[in-house]
Homo-oligomer: A and B are copies of this chain.
Amino acid sequence: MLVPVADIRRVALDALSQISPPDHAAIQVDVLVEAELRGVASHGLLRLPRIIRRIRNGVTDPGAAGSHEWRKAGFLAVDGQRGLGPVVADRAIAALRERVAETGIAVAAIRNSNHIGMLGYYAENAARQGFTMIALSTSEALVHPWGGRKAMIGTNPIAIGVPTGGEPFMMDTATSVISMGEIHDHANRGAPIPEHWALDANGNPTTDASAAKFGAIAPFGEAKGYALGLGFELLVSSLAGAAIGSDVKGTLDDTNVCNKGDLFILIDGPQASLLDYLEDIRAAQPAAGFERVLIPGERGRQAKERRMHEGITLPDDIWNEIRAFAGSTEGNH
């Protein structure tokens, strides 16, 4: 169903505001809508019913925004107090923004917070405000070590935001070759998955998406992506004091306290113009089979502009579920 963006925002906010302070609900909804606008449906409205159920089940506290402890001048340890992920992240980054005026660089290491949604949201916003950001987050163990059979590592995304003198640069990628959402999507459609995407529950290669759901996703780029994903797992878990490996829970279920970690490194500036270089890449002659050379993040930004006018296509069942959550006050508007 194609729904105007304003309607999605209003209904989603109505739904979440039933059980969350409206200002916190607004931040959470903004992150979800932003993902939908950019075509990252796996981090979009799909997640709202789970967020609501987690609040109802008492494993998410929608009123919490995290407690801050500056362990050192540039090191902010955040106990998320089971708050909504984007609310805790937003508050932590705001504290970093103030601090880097003095320290130049600061880091927030967050534990005990919920899923923060699309990581690039934070990196792009930071870059738009003139800051460089490296953002990392861990997840349930869904990825197998290179050469292994079982999932032992999170999908551990990285996002980088850099001011350019114009539209900010933003890249955002998981260290898995594909998301578990994509595998579920293939399974739902009865479509096979490409070779090398995943192993089945016994650790054998499979092209059966339904079998892959119970197995493990490959790291992207073989041994190199494995090294990177594992490095992020260790770095985030140890700095944030968060769970690690198969102990991580709470971003994919309704009942477990979420114990993954998030890490935001914020750097003041720089002021350099990167526009000429990016334009050279954009204008480069494409290889055979490619229409043009893309800059990471820009296809999503173009999709956003289009969807702001045209609306967002949501699966009927998700839209109906969100409307049902909103339903009890829908008559008040």
Tally of contact residues, A, Cβ under 8 A: 77
Q: Which residue of B lies closest to A242 (CB)?
A: B272
Max chain B Cβ within 10 angstroms of own Cβ: one of A134, A286, A290, A293: A293
B225–A221 contact, CB under 8 A?
Answer: yes
Q: Of residues 194 to 246 in A, which have CB atoms within 8 Å of B's CB atoms?
A: 199, 203-205, 220-228, 230-232, 234-235, 237-239, 241, 244-245
Task: Select A296's contact among B74, B227, B274, beta carbons within 8 Å.
Answer: B227
* Distance to closest chain B CB from A260 (angstroms): 14
A132 close to B (CB within 8 Å): yes
Residues of B within 8 A of A296 (CB): 223, 226-227, 230-231
Assembly stoichiometry (copies): 2
Cα A265 to Cα B222 in complex, Å, equals: 26
Cα A109 to Cα B145 in complex, Å, equals: 32
B75–A268 contact, CB under 8 A?
Answer: yes
* Distance to closest chain B CB from A118 (angstroms): 14
A235–B287 contact, CB under 8 A?
Answer: no
Cα A66 to Cα B255 in complex, Å, equals: 54
Given A74-B104, A103-B74, A286-B147 contact (CB < 8 Å): yes
Q: Of residues 98 to 139 in A, which have CB atoms within 8 Å of B's CB atoms?
A: 100-107, 132, 134
Please give the residue numbers on chain A whose beta carbons come within 8 Å of chain B beta carbons, in ascending order. 71-75, 100-107, 132, 134, 144-150, 152, 158, 160, 162-164, 169, 171, 173, 177, 199, 203-205, 220-228, 230-232, 234-235, 237-239, 241, 244-245, 265, 267-270, 272, 274, 277, 280-281, 284-288, 290, 292-296
